[in-house]
Amino acid sequence: MTVKLPIYMDNHATTRVDPRVVEKMLPYFTEIFGNAASKTHSFGRAAEEAVDKARLQLAKAIGASSDKEIVITSGATESDNLAIKGAAHMYREKGDHLITVCTEHKAVLDSHHALEREGFRTTFLPVKPDGLIDLAELEAAMTDQTILVSIMAVNNEIGVVQPLAEIGKLCKKRGILFFCDAAQAIGKIPLNVEELGIDILAFTAHKLYGPKGIGALYVRRKNPRVRLEAQMHGGGHERGLRSGTLAVPLIVAFGEAAELITQNLAEETARIAALRDRLWNGLTSQLQHIYLNGHATERAPGSLNVSFAYVEGESLLMGISDIAVSSGSACTSSSLEPSYVLKALGVNDELAHTSIRFGIGRFNTEEEIDYTIARVVDVVTRLREMSPLWEMVQEGIDLRTVNWTGH
Amino acid sequence: MAYSEKVLDHYNNPRNVGALPKDDPTVGTGVVGAPECGDVMKLQIKVGANGVIEDARFKTFGCGSAIASSSLATEWVKGKTLAEAAAIRNTDIVQELNLPPIKIHCSVLAEDAIRAALADFAAKQEKKA
């Protein structure tokens, strides 16, 4: 068995662009290079046609009823900002209260913090130890002043899927808009904005085998018609919601990437889930004291966030340096704080420091999974042999009773 | 994070990993750090009758730089007198391993571990006397 190294298994961070997508986008750099807003000549019209087609592909991928509901942006961060600030500013007269969850992406959390400085109030809902929100807490947090609920579909660190349909129903009942950051969800789980009652939805190309720098925001036009205040002003592109010349090649690629997802979702997710199970079963059959972070079944198929007790995450990453994964360990970030998402789950700092995030994607193979299992088992075993914590546990010492000298 | 060659060498070939009998009166044991901070070092020294450190061992839970700092510390204390070992400074470790600023705390922890082991040995001697 030969495996090509290094192995890429960090598909939450970004994905490789599918070669079929690259092929589709290339002519739009050199041949069909017009500005989609140039309606006076054939170059512009050809570009506009390509954008229209992509918009339909994007609408279809999320079950939107019209391509007019798709606003092109530069990515999920911009989409998050436009959705949250745009809705808050537009509906300010109606209320000043927002609800989100403490495990959201920073783009969502920091947009709320920015609005709080303008006088809005936010409820940051906690999550249960499995990473999911408590629907009763969401309902209890809703007031007459609440104008927007922002809850992500799939968590970027732990892969759990929030109960979107139930959230959608609660929001509808109270007449509150539901915004969903689905950057990690599209292409990983079936998602239909009509069925789930989502009013605004952010997604991005580079998490679904498309290029970086292009994203979209779904903005519902019927039941209810959602209005947003533009955050980027200029030539009035995207029906005034997002000015700026359209990046035609990237949009074509985004559309094509979405099309591939629409065609093969069930088959692809089944294959990836099988690889994920193979990885988990391989690790748990050979290593003790390893823990899955987040709900065991309510999760995106390629996602596995695992704590390897008594082995610090960065030292584990160093040992498996030919496999690209990421860690919730503080040492891998510049903040020296372990992951805020794992902390929100109630995972103690000690275990958060030992966490590794595996992100399996379209291009991973069974051979790569088997290689990863063997490497991780080998390195964890070696590092545990040199871990004083492992030694204490083997001696029957309860680590919680030790008087540590924190620094 | 780019690791220096010396850090990689200590990580891949750690010197003196293991344990000495901690109840032996000639052995001093230092455990510093905390699991919730992401690093714990255990460093042990075995002191000869002449006051020279004959042997040293370590076990570390921590990042590669923490492992390398403690591995280097065991190498350095061996053959030194207690006073010489006490004079080892974290800045020496930083320099030897080319640690970046964000990893300086690893070297501080290694210095603390040496001192804790020396203090434990001294306490045992006092008890005996």
CATH code at position A382: 3.90.1150.10
Residue A35: inside a domain? yes
**Structure tokens, A13:** 């961070």
Which residues does A121 contact at the CB level (< 8 Å), separation at least 6? Answer: A96, A97, A98, A145
Residue A255's closest CA among A60, A386, A96, A397?
Answer: A60
Same structural domain for residues A279 and A145? no
Q: Identify the residue with better confidence: A406 or A251.
A: A251
Task: Report whether pLDDT(A407) > 60.
Answer: no
Q: What is the pLDDT of residues B106-125, one digit of tens each?
A: 999 999 999 999 999 999 99
Which chain A residues are Cβ-neighbours of B39 within 8 angstroms? 312
Cβ separation B38–A312 shorter than 8 A: yes
Residue B12's closest CA among A97, A319, A220, A193?
Answer: A319
- Residue A75 sits in a domain whose CATH number is 3.40.640.10
Using a CB–CB cutoff of 8 Å, tell me whether B19 touches chain A.
Answer: yes
Out of A261, A278, A296, a domain closes at A261
Which of A332, A399, A406 has its CB closest to that of B37?
A: A406
Q: What is the pLDDT of residues A88-108, one digit of tens each?
A: 999 999 999 999 999 999 999
Same structural domain for residues A236 and A297? no
Phi, psi of A83 (to 5 degrees): -65, -50
Same structural domain for residues A150 and A164? yes
Instruction: With cut-offs at 50, 70 and 90, classify the pLDDT of residue A400.
Output: confident
Closest chain A residue to B64 measured between Cα atoms?
Answer: A315
Using a CB–CB cutoff of 8 Å, tell me whether B102 touches chain A.
Answer: yes
Q: Which residues of B are catalytic?
A: 37, 106
Same structural domain for residues A216 and A114? yes
Same structural domain for residues A211 and A343? no
Same structural domain for residues A310 and A247? no
**Structure tokens, A176:** 């509150």
- Smallest CA–CA separation between A315 and chain B, in Å? 4
**Which of A289, A307, A314 to mutate to probe the B interface, most B CBs <10 Å?**
A314
Cβ separation B60–A387 shorter than 8 A: yes
Q: What is the pLDDT of residue B129?
A: 74
The residue to which tokens 């220096």 are assigned: B4
What value does the mean pLDDT of chain A take? 95
**Which of B3, B16, B43, B61 to mutate to probe the A interface, most A CBs <10 Å?**
B61
* Residue span of the structural domain in which A379 resides: 7-13+265-397
**Structure tokens, A141:** 């947090």
Instruction: With cut-offs at 50, 70 and 90, classify the pLDDT of residue B1.
Output: low
Closest chain B residue to A347 measured between Cα atoms?
Answer: B36
**Structure tokens, A54:** 């992509």
pTM of the predicted model as reported, rounded to 2 decimal places: 0.93
Q: What is the pLDDT of residues A75-90, one digit of tens each?
A: 999 999 999 999 999 9
DSSP-assigned states of every residue in A190-201: ---HHHHT-SEE
Q: What is the pLDDT of residue A168?
A: 98
Domains and CATH numbers, chain B: 5-121 (3.90.1010.10)
Which chain B residues are Cβ-neighbours of A382 within 8 angstroms? none
Cβ separation B33–A406 shorter than 8 A: yes
Same structural domain for residues A181 and A206? yes
Q: What is the pLDDT of residues A290-348, one digit of tens each?
A: 999 999 999 999 999 999 999 999 999 999 999 999 987 655 555 557 889 999 999 98
Same structural domain for residues A226 and A340? no
Q: What is the pLDDT of residue A244?
A: 97
Out of A241, A261, A281, a domain closes at A261
| Number of separate domains in chain A | 2
Edge-first strand order for the sheet with B53-61 is B27-34, B39-47, B53-61
- Smallest CA–CA separation between A343 and chain B, in Å? 12
Closest chain A residue to B38 measured between Cα atoms?
Answer: A353
ipTM score of complex: 0.94
Same structural domain for residues A237 and A282? no
Same structural domain for residues A96 and A213? yes
Same structural domain for residues A200 and A269? no
Burial readout A239-252 (b: 16 or more C-beta within 10 A, e: otherwise): eebbeeebbbbbbb
